[in-house]
Structure 1
């Protein structure tokens, strides 16, 4: 869980019976390949999670015997966005320094942006493409109460995308901010994949693998950006987003976008309890990114 920010076992229900079955019968989820966990460490983790006590390491000395050589070869690096990863330690080169400056400049730029005059001053969510000298970035603009934003500055971040091809190509972009004290804040938005914004945003999300959330408060008279979060997208979801963007181009516009939204909303309501159960299992209020598998109608 420290490496992936996900529980290795997820029960069918958050009950004693559900956890009992998961503990005794379910196999641990594999560690995602994009985390680049060394194979020896991957095997050690799975051995520690073995159902049969005889298949687990029998002492801490046995564990240290495997970890010690890894510690010499790899540097542990924590990320408050995508969990912890172990990667080879290399000195920063010019490219890494450039990336650091780009990130800092982009966040500073976002903090200077004011709420669009044509948008109502109310609790809404909408995307915008931010064009900079470094490229085009997808941003998600959110307005909340000041207290609500304060409560959720340090939250687990989760995203998922639902796609419907019929009767109209439509994408439901789901973002959730969750902490134990205040529960989930659902921030969904529908992207029409027959529109220029929908096409470009979906493609850029798939290519970049992340987006920035810009937060505004109702109480701020200047309506300036108060906080910026970067949210990462699972690599498998990125592949699907690119596929959906391409697929939707060949689907004729049936003029029934409202019906597609209704169908996606129904699927979203069914998923909500499962998503919340997964977030409750994380057991932390520190900023993290959580991803789920894609759903496709």
Structure 2
């Protein structure tokens, strides 16, 4: 991450000789968000957030840098936290940071949501929070992160080919910085959003995970009912202080009698709203356990969309151009690769641009059975302690189930820079299937679609990896990615099966 300077967010000039501001796309209590283009990365769209608080002392600037760096490190650990790329302070003292631009909707615009969607979204929100609460390792010391401003406006929901709806949590660490800055400049102890703030947050004291759990409870109540658990006569601090400290929340049944919730879920939400932290669930893991249990219990009440009857097992077009597909079918199995069921990426020289392929070897009968299948992909990027990218391709058929094709790419390797750059240049990449039986020729070519946002992220990750200092801890990053891979597999298993509308090869 590189420091940047910009004169003012009031015009649409060039920020840090890199970001061309386009238009104001969001405004709230924490600041303003601009859509911008990253000129260095060929016009890649990014979001630039200018915070409302002016930085007037070196200490405040140091606090801002600390929080945004912690947030950036956290975003590399969780798929459900928006990624921060860059930061700086303007000449007028306005701190800002640069994020990935995601074309989605705020959760506040989707409320209320049906129970199946609620469980999907709530689980992802919890996974992001759990990652933050477990903390960031800095020089051997773990620093847990509390969000301090969990609310629907800070949850972005984007369309995703695997999860259907992918959650991204915004503004990690920013509420803490703004509170600290407000204390220095105005002696105001509170900074948050009143309807979602825990009783202890309103006191201005130190907060732990359970404060976020209280805010999560308010938000889950609202996600299901469309209303908040309290409705004070005014929106002033005193009225909300009284509500959070002394007034019992409404019940879900009172707000929406038609909503038939499993008692286990109802009890969970009301427990999150307990006035005393010790009376709430003590960690996100406890909440996830209940959500997963409820999800299993309602499967019969909310069945997945029926799978179409007897899909013919005949090959379909891969979606690749005829020239690229022809080139793939002419590929031969590399002599330096063993004859066994393995998977690896390979750059294929094509005109006008090279294309990255996934090569795999399977028994011929399995290749035939997977001739018509769903093909999905996912990417997980980690910077610290070593830049590494996990690229996962998944083949799914109801008959054979899932075939997982993971590739771990060391992003200090210049050849992998070329592979990922070429991957980002095309909407689709080929999955070339070679037979395990001699003569080990290409028996089929599938393809997987990469949406625009993911391709832009791949470009950003390549550029980031080029500017990072040398590291010799690839094995540590690979171990971290393996843990995230297990989590991702669980999510994909739940989402892909029973979604016949998903992309086919």
- TM-score normalised to the size of structure 2? 0.37
In the TM superposition, residue 283 of structure 1 has moved relative to its aligned partner by 3.3
Partners of 1:269 and 1:108 lie apart in 2 by: 35
In the TM superposition, residue 133 of structure 1 has moved relative to its aligned partner by 3.6
Select which of 407, 413, 418 maps to 1:200: 418
Select which of 199, 213, 238 maps to 2:431: 213
Identify the residue that residue 238 of structure 1 maps to in structure 2: 455
Identify the residue that residue 264 of structure 1 maps to in structure 2: 481
Identify the residue that residue 12 of structure 1 maps to in structure 2: 119
Identify the residue that residue 344 of structure 2 maps to in structure 1: 126
Identify the residue that residue 497 of structure 2 maps to in structure 1: 280
* Paired residue secondary structure (2:402): strand
Asked if the contact 1:169/1:248 (under 8 Å) is kept, the reply is yes
Partners of 2:117 and 2:436 lie apart in 1 by: 38
Asked if the contact 1:180/1:283 (under 8 Å) is kept, the reply is no
Aligned residue-pair number: 204
Matching of residues 53-92 of structure 1 within 5 Å: none
Identify the residue that residue 142 of structure 1 maps to in structure 2: 360
In the TM superposition, residue 11 of structure 1 has moved relative to its aligned partner by 5.9
> Does the alignment pair 1:222 with 2:439?
yes
Asked if the contact 1:141/1:215 (under 8 Å) is kept, the reply is yes
Identify the residue that residue 381 of structure 2 maps to in structure 1: 163
* Paired residue secondary structure (1:288): coil
Matching of residues 31-110 of structure 1 within 5 Å: 103-110=321-328
Deviates more, 1:143-152 or 1:183-192: 143-152
Asked if the contact 1:146/1:218 (under 8 Å) is kept, the reply is yes
Identify the residue that residue 253 of structure 1 maps to in structure 2: 470
Select which of 395, 398, 404 maps to 1:186: 404
In the TM superposition, residue 10 of structure 1 has moved relative to its aligned partner by 4.4
Deviation readout 1:54-94 (Å, 9 max, x if unpaired): xxxxxxxxxxxxxxxxxxxxxxxxx9779xxxxxxxxxxxx
* Paired residue secondary structure (1:198): helix
Distance 1:165 1:255, change over 3 A: same
Asked if the contact 1:154/1:287 (under 8 Å) is kept, the reply is no
Identify the residue that residue 112 of structure 1 maps to in structure 2: 330
Asked if the contact 1:194/1:249 (under 8 Å) is kept, the reply is yes
In the TM superposition, residue 256 of structure 1 has moved relative to its aligned partner by 1.2
Structure 2 unaligned blocks of 5 or more: 1-113, 124-156, 161-225, 227-315
* Paired residue secondary structure (1:12): helix
Identify the residue that residue 176 of structure 1 maps to in structure 2: 394
* Paired residue secondary structure (2:341): coil
In the TM superposition, residue 238 of structure 1 has moved relative to its aligned partner by 0.8
Partners of 1:12 and 1:186 lie apart in 2 by: 25
Identify the residue that residue 294 of structure 1 maps to in structure 2: none
In the TM superposition, residue 122 of structure 1 has moved relative to its aligned partner by 0.7
In the TM superposition, residue 106 of structure 1 has moved relative to its aligned partner by 1.7
Asked if the contact 2:353/2:422 (under 8 Å) is kept, the reply is no
Deviates more, 1:239-248 or 1:202-211: 202-211
* Paired residue secondary structure (1:226): strand
* Paired residue secondary structure (1:172): strand
Structure 1 runs of 4+ off > 2 angstroms? Answer: 8-13, 29-32, 79-82, 132-135
Partners of 2:317 and 2:321 lie apart in 1 by: 15
Partners of 1:231 and 1:158 lie apart in 2 by: 6
Partners of 1:30 and 1:251 lie apart in 2 by: 29
> Does the alignment pair 1:154 with 2:372?
yes
Asked if the contact 2:318/2:445 (under 8 Å) is kept, the reply is no
Partners of 1:258 and 1:148 lie apart in 2 by: 33
